[in-house]
Amino acid sequence: GAGVSQSPSNKVTEKGKDVELRCDPISGHTALYWYRQSLGQGLEFLIYFQGNSAPDKSGLPSDRFSAERTGGSVSTLTIQRTQQEDSAVYLCASSSRTPSGGEKGTYNEQFFGPGTRLTVL
Amino acid sequence: GEDVEQSLFLSVREGDSSVINCTYTDSSSTYLYWYKQEPGAGLQLLTYIFSNMDMKQDQRLTVLLNKKDKHLSLRIADTQTGDSAIYFCAEILFSGGYNKLIFGAGTRLAVHP
């Protein structure tokens, strides 16, 4: 079956421009995550969606970053007024659900997309 | 605080064993994970271990967990060129009402003939 897809695969933009990155999760997956992968810095959590709501936006690095999810499916990560330090690979992941409360410590596998490589000149 | 640390680079000869090490901070983590990222691809779950286990073996992969020292390792036996990738260690953290993965920086494994 289809996995997580992201578009575009590569994006080159000029400093100060806005960009939109798209994620199509696996059909039926209610949980969706955005991460940023910078060289030598591992994966940095950005935001988590459960359905269309985002209970955890704590990882968004500044107010230039925002994300939305509509219809419990596609998500868009928007970066306004891009800066050179925004250059990174942006990864999206989805899972069937994320346990909480009484299921503390359990986990449903996150399936990752191939990422969008963003270069800000 | 949340922190997962791993060395950034490992080079091994084809056929030798590779050992990738990781330290984590949250003693309440119930699961610990190894993800693999091949060039140009997303991350793929390689294996995981439950915190009440010391060891887990899956074909060429052996995961060792030392809870006292908060140390996790991944051993790949008979390393092949196809094993060249970045390997990420991750711990699970219950935060903000849900379970969240905290990743290390990744260890780039280079396999040479």
Q: Which pLDDT does position A10 carry in this prediction? A: 96
Rounded to an integer, what distance in angstroms lies between the CA atom of residue A26 and that of residue A96? 8
Rounded to 5 degrees, φ, ψ at B88 are -110, 130
Distance of CA B45 to the CA centre of its chain: 10
> B45 and A42: CB-CB below 8 Å?
no
Q: Which pLDDT does position A2 carry in this prediction? A: 80
Q: Which pLDDT does position A40 carry in this prediction? A: 65
Q: Is the pLDDT of residue B1 over 60?
A: no
User: B71 or A109, which is more confident?
Assistant: B71
* Paired sense of beta strands A75-79 and A65-69, if any: antiparallel
Of A69-73, A90-94, B42-46, B93-97, the poorest mean pLDDT is in B93-97
Q: Which pLDDT does position B22 carry in this prediction? A: 95
Contact list, A99 vs chain B (CB under 8 Å): 98-99
Query: In chain A, which residue's Cα lies nearest the Cα of B87?
Result: A42
List average pLDDT for each run of 10 residues in chain A, which is 121 residues long: 89 97 94 87 86 86 94 94 96 77 58 94 95
Across-strand partners of B6?
B22
User: B8 or B95, which is more confident?
Assistant: B8
Rounded to an integer, what distance in angstroms lies between the CA atom of residue B103 and that of residue B91? 7
Q: Which pLDDT does position B9 carry in this prediction? A: 94
> A104 and B102: CB-CB below 8 Å?
no
| Average pLDDT of chain B, as a whole number | 90
**For testing contact with chain A, the best of B26, B43, B92 (most A CBs within 10 A):** B43
Please check whether residue A42 touches B, CB under 8 A: yes
Please say whether the beta carbons of A113 and B113 come within 8 A. Answer: no
Contact list, B67 vs chain A (CB under 8 Å): none
Q: Which pLDDT does position A6 carry in this prediction? A: 96
Please check whether residue A45 touches B, CB under 8 A: yes
Q: Which pLDDT does position B99 carry in this prediction? A: 72
Rounded to an integer, what distance in angstroms lies between the CA atom of residue B42 and that of residue B27? 28
Of A40, A110, A113, the CB nearest to B8: A40
* Paired sense of beta strands A53-56 and A116-120, if any: unpaired
* Size of the A and B interface in Cβ pairs below 8 Å: 71
Q: Which pLDDT does position A107 carry in this prediction? A: 63
Contact list, B30 vs chain A (CB under 8 Å): 104-107
**Tens digits of per-residue pLDDT, B57-70?**
999 999 999 999 99
Contact list, B94 vs chain A (CB under 8 Å): 104-105
